[in-house]
Structure 1
Amino acid sequence: MKRISVFVSIFFLCIGLSACATTGGPLHIASGQGDLTAIKNALHAGADPNEHKGKMTNIVDGWSPAGWGGPPLHHAAYYCRAEAARVLIEKGADVNAKGGIGLTALHRAAVKDCVEVIKILLEKGADINARDTGFQYSPLEWAALSGSSNAVRLLIEKGADPEEAMFKLQTTNKGKLPSTMNPEAGVQLLSAVVRRDKKAGQPAGFKDMFEGGRPEARSDVDDIPSAKAKLNKNAYAIVIGIEQYRQKLPKADFAVSDAKIMVEYLTRVLGYPEENVITLLNDHASNVDLVKYFEKWLPNNVEPGASVFIYYSGHGAPNPKTGDAYLVPYDGDPSFIDETGYSLKRMYAALGKLPAKKIIVALDSCFSGAGGRSVIAKGSRPLVMNLQTATALAANMTVLSASSGEQTSSTYDEKGHGLFTYFMLKGIKDENVVKPDGSIAISDLFGYIKPQVERIARKQYNNEQSPQLIGAKKN
């Protein structure tokens, strides 16, 4: 363990301060200096463009290559020598060759914000998702850690996944990084770039979780209220909206719209930092995604005294044999719900381990299998479940459910949202239930939601839908 720590320290000294050099020959030095004539002469004399120089020495001739050696292309990339990189590649340099701790030339260029080199490397086939062997970071994650904002923007435009990068940095072991590398600052940079690109319009190739952008307002709740609570850096949320499924399941109408607008209320009204809100839509809400964020991201981020908000809009399903209720992920299959679903018991158990002061779970779904936002295995009959007694909740947790166990949950077509979600948002907007610190007076909010949902469900849909408030603490 001590040996590894020394290795890491030396590596960052070299990467961060450029204080190390290789015993590299003329081609390595010329590549770092961008001396095209010297590069061509060295190649003409038989120098290998893929030779790895890894022995560390003192600074050579006033120039210091980028830590732990590597092929000449790595030195050109680290020092932003775009033309040198182009010449080396033309002469056979491998754009995906790995140097010290498995870094590629693209990693090196990303660390130093060398956008012209990045463009050349990607054009010539560099792997945008390559991970080093020491920390398992991608070029985008290294760029964010290094504060290289131009590289972050370019890599995202070229297809790197900012959500994956934010998750990686949020779950990193800070103890393995030097004090100069701040994962939280990296997450903030990624979040800021994503936010700026949304405002400017989605660039080509940008993998945006809000595919197609936010829809035009269809109801009063889509007009976000101007009042905003004070930013709470210790507030975290997971928002899930699954409208379309991999299996041939009925569409969960408006589930994505529900999730998108909920994110805006959290960040623009309730004081949740954007970087603390995870949004999972459609195919980004697979079973693996739910496990990852509930059972890894939350425990790694939530601190004592935190506020946690969970929102789910999409299908629920029962297990006909056990009566357990499940969220249906994007890749869920009601016929194999144990294997492909994410049970409420499992979710509540994961949440119950958090050191949070208050946890609110809002479920615009139903679990009977009788239709609406509920599905069931073919040939099975709908179930009557008692959500109030189905699972014991932690003392700091409160659950708002769109309907009781035997009922279905309706959409409010003229408003473009789930019926429960619409009145939840309307209550937050109009009913003075938001406290100055951004917390919600749950009993007051529920007291508004329940009769409104029951009235509209009965009048417009001839349906009985009674929202439920579950949990020991309801204030």
Structure 2
Amino acid sequence: MVNGATTSAGASTLRGLALAIVTLLAACSQNSKQRNDDFWGNAMNGAAGAGGIGGLVGVAVLAAAKAATEPSAQAYPTVPYSPSPQRTLPDKNGLLFTSIYMGNLDYVRGLLRDGANPNTRDDKGWTPLHAAAEVGNAQATRILLDANADVTQKNRYGEKAESVAIRKGYIEIAKLLHGAENSLSRETGAAASANSNFQSSQPAEAPSVSSAKSDIPPSFSVPPSLSTTDQSVAVSGKIAGSGRIVSLSVDGSDAPVAPDGIFSFRRQVMIGDSELRLAAIDEWGRKAEATVKVTRTAAVSKSDTAYEPLHPDKVRGKPHPDALALIIGIERYESAPPAEYGANDARMFYDYAVNALGIPPQRITPLIDDKARRIDIDKALLTWLKPQVVKGKTDVFIFFSGHGLASDDGRDLYLLPSDGDGALLSRSAVRRKEIIDIIVEAGARSATLFLDTCYSGGTRGKETLVASARPVVLVGKDEGVPPNVSILAAAANDQLSSSLPAVRHGLFSYFLMKGLEGAAAEGKSITVGGLESFIAGKVSVEAAKQGRAQTPQLVGDGSKVIATW
């Protein structure tokens, strides 16, 4: 079979050459008027009809002869395409290159219709599109694009057909190929893979590039609005279109932009609302415009927003072995809105009771969330705290973080247990005076209450505890306290107690614990009055940033020392 194939190929070559030689002899016997396009076309069809390598050789010889004998011939002669059953696919692919180089558009169309591969490659990795770009044949380029020729393929030197056209100076073809690749990228997101095998029996499948001829103007893809606290704003985006973007301006001033339309820049903006007007122009002079609205707000300095973490381990107060502490923190209520971070406050204050106040852990009882029901608080006061008080010797500390509420007439102030109900205060809540009475009756040397709550009917959030949601806040009337009792409260009775989300604590509780770390110390001791002075200076400022008024209150003796080291 191999010998037979070789013999057949040799015979084909001889037939093609023979036809070419006969034609050349005929040409020499005729004058130039007799040698018209039909003469050459018929001769080339005859040579091509020999098939195989001989046909290719014959066509190439005749093309060279025509160019030499007819210097004034038409640049792209029209030679009718004649299909031949003897042509194999490699023959068709080879003739496709020859037809492009000769400028025979009818042959280019015919070969593509007859199954020639628009993405075939020669021994240098060139595709028909490379060939069309090489000779500057824009019509052949369009025919190949319509036949799904792949514009992304590169030859062995790493060049796309567009690069070849640019190198040869054929700008029209370069623009045509560039637009086709842009359209292809937008429609498919990826270029189709070309057939890299010269001997492939099927043409490579490529995505449609019918949009290569479309006239797509540039358009902006950019956020319509931006916000910043800086003196300048960063703007990034992309300009899409079939043409290469050659310029970008912002409010009339040039801005950097890549050829593919991607851009990123910064521009100065004033406080308040501003507009940035963007304008772009592509290589064909088409324009696009866009407007970006920028809102600049005043920057908040780091000192206004950074809060130091709580560090109860940094303080070591003198032991206070006879003291007692009841710590209550409630965030989740059964019949009321949450008290933000109430549980966190109590859990953290436990360590300050041990480290700053010097109270032994076994003399501290924490009640958190569902463990702080009305019965739990009563039981802790009456059966745990009261029996352990030694008359004239025990100092008692009460910490409460949660909801408080005043009675309708303002005479009584209540602390709300986790199962408390604002509509049934006297039956479900703990009266503040009742707590004080139990401690005083037990004979405690002193009692200090830290109450991160309010009695106005509001909460740390935006909810209210008053069922009727009446707009008038409840104003509790301060009850008198015995001389050995001090109350440090988070707010005045007609104010709200706020939270501090940045540290996940109540505002009052956070600065109370910061004060116990030593920030409120006078020398080597902390008094109730000194602690109140430190907390008030911090809380009022921070509450104002939230649009609230909150002024911590001290009721009782402020000179009492509560911590020493």
1:258 partner letter: D
Q: Which has the higher strand share?
A: 2
**Does the C-alpha gap of structure 1 residues 222 and 367 become closer, same or farther in structure 2, counting only changes over 3 Å?**
same
Residue from 468, 471, 477 that aligns with 1:379:
468
Q: Secondary structure at the match of 1:427?
A: helix
Residue from 477, 484, 501 that aligns with 1:413:
501
Q: Tell me the equivalent position of 1:428.
A: 516
Q: 2:309 matched to 1:224?
A: no
**Does the C-alpha gap of structure 1 residues 345 and 227 become closer, same or farther in structure 2, counting only changes over 3 Å?**
closer
Q: Tell me the equivalent position of 1:286.
A: 373
Distance 2:523 2:414 in 1: 32
**Does the C-alpha gap of structure 1 residues 318 and 432 become closer, same or farther in structure 2, counting only changes over 3 Å?**
closer
Residue from 331, 339, 348 that aligns with 1:243:
331
Distance 1:343 1:383 in 2: 19
Q: Secondary structure at the match of 1:261?
A: helix
Q: Secondary structure at the match of 2:314?
A: coil
**Does the C-alpha gap of structure 1 residues 270 and 446 become closer, same or farther in structure 2, counting only changes over 3 Å?**
same
Q: Tell me the equivalent position of 1:443.
A: 529
Q: 2:546 matched to 1:461?
A: yes
Q: 2:341 matched to 1:254?
A: yes
1:462 partner letter: G
1:90-109 correspondence to structure 2 within 5 Å? none
Q: Secondary structure at the match of 1:355?
A: coil
Measure how far apart 1:340 and its partner are.
Answer: 0.4
Q: CA offsets, 1:12-69, max 9 Å, x none?
A: xxxxxxxxxxxxxxxxxxxxxxxxxxxxxxxxxxxxxxxxxxxxxxxxxxxxxxxxxx
**Does the C-alpha gap of structure 1 residues 250 and 432 become closer, same or farther in structure 2, counting only changes over 3 Å?**
closer
**Does the C-alpha gap of structure 1 residues 431 and 403 become closer, same or farther in structure 2, counting only changes over 3 Å?**
same
**Paired residues of 2:329 and 2:401 also in contact (CA < 8 A):** yes
**Paired residues of 1:383 and 1:406 also in contact (CA < 8 A):** yes
2:380 partner letter: Y
2:555 partner letter: I
**Paired residues of 1:226 and 1:269 also in contact (CA < 8 A):** no
Q: Secondary structure at the match of 2:326?
A: strand
**Paired residues of 2:520 and 2:526 also in contact (CA < 8 A):** no
**Paired residues of 1:410 and 1:419 also in contact (CA < 8 A):** yes
Q: 2:556 matched to 1:471?
A: yes
Q: Tell me the equivalent position of 1:268.
A: 355
Measure how far apart 1:366 and its partner are.
Answer: 0.5
1:461 partner letter: Q
**Does the C-alpha gap of structure 1 residues 336 and 375 become closer, same or farther in structure 2, counting only changes over 3 Å?**
farther
Unaligned runs of 5+ residues in structure 1 are 1-217
2:397 partner letter: F
1:276 partner letter: R
**Paired residues of 2:433 and 2:479 also in contact (CA < 8 A):** yes
TM-score if structure 2 supplies the norm length? Answer: 0.42
Q: Tell me the equivalent position of 2:421.
A: 333
Measure how far apart 1:380 and its partner are.
Answer: 5.6
Q: CA offsets, 1:67-101, max 9 Å, x none?
A: xxxxxxxxxxxxxxxxxxxxxxxxxxxxxxxxxxx
Unaligned runs of 5+ residues in structure 2 are 1-305, 561-565
Distance 1:288 1:345 in 2: 17
**Does the C-alpha gap of structure 1 residues 380 and 320 become closer, same or farther in structure 2, counting only changes over 3 Å?**
farther
Q: Could you list the runs of 4 or more consecutive aligned residues of structure 1 that deviate by over 6 angstroms after TM superposition?
A: none
Distance 1:265 1:221 in 2: 14
2:546 partner letter: Y
Which structure has more relative contact order (CA 8 Å, sep 6+)? It is: 1
Q: Secondary structure at the match of 2:443?
A: coil
Measure how far apart 1:440 and its partner are.
Answer: 3.5
Q: 2:438 matched to 1:350?
A: yes
**Paired residues of 2:397 and 2:449 also in contact (CA < 8 A):** yes
TM-score if structure 1 supplies the norm length? Answer: 0.50
Q: CA offsets, 1:131-175, max 9 Å, x none?
A: xxxxxxxxxxxxxxxxxxxxxxxxxxxxxxxxxxxxxxxxxxxxx
Distance 2:559 2:380 in 1: 25
Distance 2:485 2:553 in 1: 14
Q: Tell me the equivalent position of 1:452.
A: 538
Q: Which has the higher helix share?
A: 1
**Does the C-alpha gap of structure 1 residues 434 and 263 become closer, same or farther in structure 2, counting only changes over 3 Å?**
farther
1:447 partner letter: S
Distance 1:462 1:427 in 2: 24
Distance 1:383 1:462 in 2: 17
**Does the C-alpha gap of structure 1 residues 472 and 223 become closer, same or farther in structure 2, counting only changes over 3 Å?**
closer
Distance 1:355 1:434 in 2: 29
Distance 1:233 1:472 in 2: 22
1:198-217 correspondence to structure 2 within 5 Å? none
Q: Secondary structure at the match of 1:363?
A: strand
Q: Secondary structure at the match of 1:298?
A: helix
1:316 partner letter: G
**Does the C-alpha gap of structure 1 residues 358 and 325 become closer, same or farther in structure 2, counting only changes over 3 Å?**
same
Distance 1:323 1:443 in 2: 26
Q: Secondary structure at the match of 1:414?
A: coil
**Does the C-alpha gap of structure 1 residues 378 and 274 become closer, same or farther in structure 2, counting only changes over 3 Å?**
same
**Paired residues of 1:435 and 1:441 also in contact (CA < 8 A):** no
Distance 2:482 2:430 in 1: 18
Q: 2:387 matched to 1:297?
A: no
Distance 1:454 1:288 in 2: 35
**Does the C-alpha gap of structure 1 residues 432 and 451 become closer, same or farther in structure 2, counting only changes over 3 Å?**
closer
